Structure formats: C-alpha cells, structure tokens
Amino acid sequence: MTSLTREDARERAEVLAVDSYDVNLDLNLDGSGGRYFGSVSTIRFNCAAAGESTFVDIAAHEIRSATLNGRSIDPASAFSPVTRRLTLSDLAEQNELSVDAVMKYSHDGEGLHRSVDPADGQAYLYAMSFLDAAPRWFACFDQPDLKAPVTIDVRCPADWHVAGNGPAQQHDAGRWT
C-alpha cells in the first residue's frame, strides 16, 4: 500500500468536505469459507471545484462495481490494488460515490478481524479503524481532517449478536444497524 503523503492529504482536504458514510456489510458471503465479506460504501461529499479529480482509499480483494453520481467507474482502470486507491474523476460540487467490494477478513487485528474460538467453534469479529485500517473494511477518505458520520448496516448469520460503540438495533434475524 502506498502511504498517504502530506501533500496528497493537503490537496484532498482543500477540495473535499465529507457529509456522510453509509456502510453495508454482508457477512454471509456463500462459499468464501470465512475468508471474505461484502462491503458496500456510499459516501456523500462536496467538492470545492467541479471537474477536480481525487481518490478514495479501499483495500479491496475485488471491486464488483463503483458509481460516482450515477456514472459507472471501471474498476479495472481506476483501481490499483498496490496503492489501494480508486481514482475519482470529473467531480461535481455535490457527489455521491457507491463502491461495492469483496473484502478480506484480517487476522492481524486491524480492519475487520475474524477469528474462530477453538473452545466453542464460533466465529468472532471486531473492526479496527486505527491509523490506516479503515480502508480494509470500507471505502473512505482515510485522513483525520475528512471525518464524517458513519452509519453501518450489518447482515450476518441469524444467531449472531452485533455490538458497537454506539447503540445497535436488530431489525430482524441477521440484520443489525
């Protein structure tokens, strides 16, 4: 992964203001053997000058689709797994970006960490966004001066319980916000 340089961060912060992040996690990916999960991120943000370009941070295993203001972005040409950046071109003053990705669970304690307890055979997950770990579980502008409220919607096995550092609400078996 390419580190965010001071210059990149300064340039991005000068032109962007992030309004919100909506993150939808699908922890039920069939056939992944507990290796992958789905992550759909919708980011609403403003740009100081229409026509500008920037990038969003995402450490995806695969980007299934991406749209900016209803316009498709080709992940094959706009996403670099080396830099973990998805290029966003021709920004409007008000923007909505949606990125649908397959992400890898982490096993090093950062990102969305998954482990199986040998004592009970149950899977346990927790998310860590410290330093540069947030892009390992959702697309974001990962720098301190581009913060915004985040809402999270989780689809998981029906017998799981979801908890967070804010109130969680169960809507039905296997769906929490």
Is residue 171 one of the residues assigned to a domain? no
Tell me, what's the pLDDT at 167?
83
Is residue 129 one of the residues assigned to a domain? yes
Q: Is 68 helix (H, G, I), strand (E, B) or coil?
A: strand
Tell me, what's the pLDDT at 49?
94
Residue 110: give the domain boundaries: 6-156
Residue 165's alpha-carbon distances to 65, 79, 91, 152, in angstroms, are: 30, 31, 33, 12
Nearest to 159 by CA among 120, 119, 103: 120
Q: Are 23 and 151 in contact (CB under 8 A)?
A: yes
pTM across the whole model = 0.94
Tell me, what's the pLDDT at 1?
63
Confidence of residue 3 (pLDDT cuts 50, 70, 90): confident
Is residue 136 one of the residues assigned to a domain? yes
Burial of residue 175 (number of CB atoms within 10 Å: 0-12, 13-18, 19+):
middle
The model's pLDDT over 17-62, given as tens digits with 9 standing for 90+, comes to 999 999 999 999 777 788 999 999 999 999 999 999 999 999 999 9
Is residue 66 one of the residues assigned to a domain? yes
First to last CA, the chain: 30
Is residue 163 one of the residues assigned to a domain? no
Q: How many domains does the chain contain in total?
A: 1
Task: Dig out the tokens for 38 from the structure.
Answer: 């789905």
The model's pLDDT over 82-137, given as tens digits with 9 standing for 90+, comes to 999 999 999 999 999 999 999 999 988 889 999 999 999 999 999 988 778 999 99
Which CATH number fits the domain that encloses residue 35? 2.60.40.1730
Tell me, what's the pLDDT at 130?
79
Is residue 165 one of the residues assigned to a domain? no
